[in-house]
């Protein structure tokens, strides 16, 4: 069962906020009145009695303590930066399994938490951006891929594994064999828009896929992984519940944000190895 963490966080902030507000408007005035009444009858008040009369109910105390912390987390996570961990190798060599990344939540517009409605326009995704989004076929799952096609683009992936955008081949330059692959995988430097990045292709593939072409609809994006032969992306997504022309496309409403940095790596926490910071840096 997937947990809707943004919804739980909003509920927690609302509950704690209501507890803090109820103390401000109701319980705190009652405590002050009780103290004033006691002083009026006795003329003085000892510290222990003052402490007892001024003691907050347990729920109020916890609510007031947690509210500012949860509110800050909500604002940071919803509107500024959200952390994610990479679960698969679909973005190798750019991102490795176990990389912890930071995602800019306002790069593509300010969206309300939970409902994900865009309320303030900022900018649109660009070709070459690494973007986190909700998987169109299962919106509760977050995916990360590279933006290849913008609204109106015609994207083609040929049988010899070359990428074309609007009938123009995307520039790629051979870098060399992937270290440790014994020649089974090769790295290329690809340029999408203004972004240059590495992609990975496997040389020992036996199945040749046919050339395919897609036209990107308005308010949608075509996404691909940098590990071109091992990525579940826009080339393969199918969903019988949506029109065929939208199959594989990521709608604007599913965008989470732009991935911009790796801040830690921890490939397998179950093993004895510790997290490391050797891959810390900006994402290209």
Encode the chain (284 residues) as per-residue pLDDT tens digits: 457 788 899 999 999 999 999 999 998 888 888 888 877 777 777 777 777 778 888 999 999 999 999 999 999 999 999 999 999 999 999 999 999 999 999 999 999 888 888 998 999 999 999 999 999 999 889 999 999 999 999 999 999 899 999 999 999 999 999 998 888 899 999 999 888 999 999 987 666 788 999 999 999 999 999 999 999 999 999 877 788 878 899 999 999 999 999 999 988 766 667 888 999 999 99
Buried b (16+ CB within 10 A) or exposed e, 81-93: ebebebeebbbbb
The CATH code for residues 114-259 is 2.10.109.10
The full set of domain ranges for the chain reads 5-79, 114-259
Of the candidates 265, 273, 226, the one whose C-alpha atom is nearest the C-alpha of residue 100 is 265
Q: Would you state the structure tokens that stand for residue 43, as one six-digit string? A: 């003329």
* Contact status, residue 235 vs residue 216, Cβ threshold 8 Å: no
* Contact status, residue 140 vs residue 2, Cβ threshold 8 Å: yes
Active site residue 265: no
How high is the pLDDT of residue 115? 83
How high is the pLDDT of residue 247? 86
Model pTM score: 0.86
Which residue of the set 2, 48, 105, 145 is catalytic?
A: 145
Q: Which helix (H) or strand (E) holds 186?
A: strand 185-192
Active site residue 145: yes
Identify the DSSP state of 244.
G
* Contact status, residue 197 vs residue 128, Cβ threshold 8 Å: yes
How high is the pLDDT of residue 210? 86
Which residue of the set 22, 55, 78, 90 is catalytic?
A: 90
* Contact status, residue 49 vs residue 38, Cβ threshold 8 Å: yes
* Contact status, residue 145 vs residue 88, Cβ threshold 8 Å: no
């Amino acid at each position: 069962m997937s947990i809707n963490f943004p919804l739980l966080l909003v509920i927690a902030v609302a509950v704690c906020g209501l507890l803090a507000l109820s103390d401000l408007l109701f319980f705190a005035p009652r405590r002050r009145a009780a103290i004033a009444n006691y002083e009026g009858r006795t003329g003085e008040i000892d510290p222990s009695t003052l402490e007892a009369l001024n003691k907050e109910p347990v729920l109020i105390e916890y609510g007031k303590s947690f509210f500012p912390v949860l509110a800050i987390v909500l604002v940071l996570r919803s509107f500024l930066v959200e952390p994610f961990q990479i679960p698969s190798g679909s973005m190798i060599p750019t991102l490795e399994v176990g990389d912890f990344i930071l995602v800019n939540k306002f790069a593509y517009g300010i969206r309300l938490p939970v409902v994900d409605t865009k309320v303030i326009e900022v900018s649109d995704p660009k070709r070459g951006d690494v973007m986190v989004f909700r998987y169109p076929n299962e919106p509760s799952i977050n995916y990360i891929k590279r933006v290849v096609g913008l609204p109106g683009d015609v994207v083609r992936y040929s049988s010899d594994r070359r990428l074309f955008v609007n009938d123009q081949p995307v520039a790629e330059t051979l870098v060399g064999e992937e270290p440790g692959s014994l020649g089974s995988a090769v790295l290329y430097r690809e340029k999408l828009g203004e972004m240059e990045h590495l992609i990975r292709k496997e040389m020992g593939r036996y199945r040749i896929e046919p050339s395919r072409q897609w036209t990107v609809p308005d308010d949608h994006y075509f996404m691909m992984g940098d590990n071109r032969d091992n990525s579940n992306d826009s080339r393969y997504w199918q969903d019988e519940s949506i029109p065929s022309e939208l199959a594989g496309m990521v709608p604007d409403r599913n965008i989470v944000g732009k991935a911009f940095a790796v801040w830690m790596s921890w490939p397998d926490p179950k093993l004895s190895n510790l997290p490391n910071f050797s891959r810390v840096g900006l994402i290209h």
